[in-house]
């Protein structure tokens, strides 16, 4: 099984990239061996969504200073972070969830973890993505669909 988790906040414009990508994948259709989950903003929920996945894909927005809409593909082990002391549920993120999931699930933790980050332009309150981020979400949804299904999908600018 492949689990794809979109993280982010739908009421903070581009921060909603992860959950919106999950909805786009739902619309595109994925094989039966793929589980889609909206991880929202609660990192602890990400741990519980991993389930019995052999492969885990996490999608979220980021702010690195790169061009808005830039897509970064990163192996999970490069970004997983062990929770710091005195951590609470309000500051437990998906990168902590990867480390905790690895510890908690041991040999049942997914063999492969990939994180896709999309550079945000606007994280202010409101709904909807900026055009650059929306275009990247569409491209990434098609790329992930192709990856998990083995289908040839034309990736256009729309």
Determine, yes or no, domain membership for 58: yes
Check residue 158 and give its pLDDT.
Answer: 46
What tokens were used for 41?
């903003």
Check residue 84 and give its pLDDT.
Answer: 57
State how far the Cα of 94 lies from the Cα of 44, in Å rounded to an integer.
7
Check residue 86 and give its pLDDT.
Answer: 64
Check residue 70 and give its pLDDT.
Answer: 97
Check residue 80 and give its pLDDT.
Answer: 76
Determine, yes or no, domain membership for 155: no
In terms of residue numbers, what domain contains 116?
2-149
The predicted model scores a pTM of 0.87
Helices (H) and strands (E) in the chain, counts: 5, 5
Residue numbers of the chain with a pLDDT score lower than 50: 153, 155-158
Looking up residue 105, the CATH number of its domain turns out to be 3.40.50.1450
Please give the helix or strand (H or E) that residue 151 lies within, else none.
none
Check residue 54 and give its pLDDT.
Answer: 93
Determine, yes or no, domain membership for 156: no
Domain count, the chain: 1
Check residue 88 and give its pLDDT.
Answer: 58
Tell which residue, 157, 136, 18, 155, has the closest CA to residue 67.
Answer: 136
State how far the Cα of 129 lies from the Cα of 158, in Å rounded to an integer.
14
State how far the Cα of 5 lies from the Cα of 2, in Å rounded to an integer.
10
Q: List phi, psi (to 5°) of 9.
A: -115, 115
Determine, yes or no, domain membership for 158: no
State how far the Cα of 33 lies from the Cα of 19, in Å rounded to an integer.
19
Determine, yes or no, domain membership for 157: no
Q: How many other CB atoms are found less than 10 A from the CB of residue 3?
A: 21
Phi-psi region of 128 (alpha: psi -120 to 50; beta: other; left: phi over 0): left
Cα 22 to Cα 59, 91, 132, distances in angstroms: 9, 23, 18
């Amino acid at each position: 099984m492949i689990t794809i988790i979109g993280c982010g906040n739908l009421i903070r414009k581009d921060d909603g990239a992860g959950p919106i990508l999950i909805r786009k994948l739902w619309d595109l259709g994925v094989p039966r061996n793929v589980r889609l989950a909206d991880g929202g903003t609660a990192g602890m929920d990400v741990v519980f969504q991993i389930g019995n996945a052999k492969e885990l894909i996490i999608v979220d927005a980021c702010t690195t200073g790169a061009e808005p809409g830039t897509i970064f593909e990163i192996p999970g082990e490069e970004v997983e972070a062990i929770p710091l002391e005195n951590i609470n549920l309000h500051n437990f993120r998906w990168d902590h969830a990867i480390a905790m999931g690895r510890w908690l699930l041991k040999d049942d933790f997914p063999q492969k973890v990939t994180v896709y980050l999309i550079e945000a332009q606007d994280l202010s309150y409101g709904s909807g993505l900026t055009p650059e981020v929306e275009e990247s979400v569409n491209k990434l949804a098609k790329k992930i669909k192709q990856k998990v299904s083995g289908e040839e999908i034309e990736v256009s600018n729309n």
